[in-house]
Amino acid sequence: MIAYMGKSLNIQAVREAMQTKGYSQSLLSGKTDVSRAAVSKWFSGDDFPRPDKLLKLGMLLGLSFKQLVIEQPDPMEPVIAFRKKGRHKTTAEHVERAKHMGTLLSRLVPFLPFDNFANVPTLRQPVNEYGYLQRVARRIREHINVKQDAPIHFRDLIGRFASLHTVIIPVLWGHKDHHENALHIYLPESMTTWVYLNLDSNIHDFKFWMAHELAHVHAPGLHNDEAEDFADALAQTLLFPEECAESAYDAVCQVKSKGARINRIKDIAGKFGISPTTVNFALQEYAHARGLDPVDAGVDIHAASTNFNKEFPSVSETLFQKVPPSPKEYVAIAREAFQTPFFDALQQYTRQASVSTGFLETVLQLPLLDVKEILAELR
């Protein structure tokens, strides 16, 4: 059992699996595409496999993450929060990869413009309860100077992130279903939060995920599904609070057919720049909390919401003249649009240190060719 950065390779399990499969360290190095010296360092504890090598090692030996790695408590370990799209499950390998990204991001902390690293205002005992969520959303809207019945714009959310010392990292992760919409990494040692946002998301989904990540910033004590469920609920409440739901409920109830109700919900969603699904859920919860008849828009509301969202461009299509943008355009526009110190910190770091493409490839989770061009732009 070899300890490294809060983790231990279960050497006994590894050796037993190697013996069963007839693998030597030399053969293992070839099958994992690393040098024999690298494998030797794994066994001696001088190094620990990178997430992709750890995954390959487990697959080769037929060992799950829990069988392969023994995790040790580390109060300074990056704290991760994200939920995969659709039916794709979040695995230990996904979390491990994200933690490795967080470890690398810590190198940028000295270059951030924050004068004092301090804990941001957090919720003492966050709960997923209607009245509590409304009160929290009301307070956040007061902080960002947005009326309770008014739409929230991107600039409002971006400004709130900046005031909470949260570093936004806009990325181009494409439209593939297996990509997470957003990734939240908190570094306890520096008390900094890093939020990845996928610019290739639909504009309404993107606003929801921004609000979702903002909820994570306010409730860092929640973890796993509890954290994700709370963030979903607060995001919905923040974007369409009770004051909005109250007037929308009356407007939707005035029409009787389900088709007409769906169209009314779509009209309201369009005015607030959010998805009809967000409006529909808010109406259902408002009716339940107030003891009113539920708003019945039928199951077709889900398909209607999907088609509604498709009518609008992705964030990347809105921001850039062409997609994918050139590295120069990507860095310049992403830096300005999101008021993020990420690119300045990254630029300073690359100019002071011998930064490899592997560092940037891992941090941005982008193809090597794109990374090389971005690195050249930063230098």
**Domain residue spans in the chain?**
2-74, 80-239
pLDDT of 200? 93
pLDDT(305) > 80: yes
pLDDT of 3? 45
pLDDT of 358? 87
Confidence class of residue 256 from pLDDT cuts 50, 70 and 90?
confident
pLDDT(35) > 50: yes
Residues of the chain above pLDDT 70, percent: 92
- Fold for the domain defined by 2-74: 434 Repressor (Amino-terminal Domain) (1.10.260)
For the range 7-11, what are the long-range contacts, defined as Cβ-Cβ under 8 Å and sequence gap of 24 or more? 7/48, 7/69, 7/70, 7/71, 7/72, 8/69, 8/70, 8/71, 8/72, 9/42, 9/43, 9/48, 9/49, 9/68, 9/69, 9/70, 10/63, 10/67, 10/68, 10/69, 10/70, 11/43
- What is the pLDDT of the chain when averaged over all its residues? 89
pLDDT of 178? 42
Distance of CA 58 to the CA centre of its chain: 26
pLDDT(201) > 70: yes
pLDDT of 42? 86
pLDDT(1) > 50: no
Read off the pLDDT of residues 49-95 as tens digits, 9 standing for 90 and up.
888 888 899 999 999 888 888 777 667 888 888 765 554 566 777 88
pLDDT(158) > 80: yes
b/e for 102-134, b at 16 or more Cβ within 10 A? bbebbebbebbeeeeeeeeeebeebeeeeebbb
Mean local confidence (pLDDT), 21-39:
90
Q: What is the pTM of this model?
A: 0.79
In total, the chain counts a number of residues equal to: 379
Read off the pLDDT of residues 356-374 as tens digits, 9 standing for 90 and up.
888 888 999 888 778 889 8
Confidence class of residue 215 from pLDDT cuts 50, 70 and 90?
very high
pLDDT(151) > 90: yes
pLDDT of 165? 86
Judged by average pLDDT, the poorest of 2-6, 81-85, 189-193, 336-340 is 2-6
Mean local confidence (pLDDT), 213-230:
91
pLDDT of 247? 95
pLDDT(44) > 90: no
pLDDT of 187? 92
pLDDT(274) > 80: yes
pLDDT(264) > 90: yes
Residue 262 backbone phi and psi in degrees, to 5: -60, -45
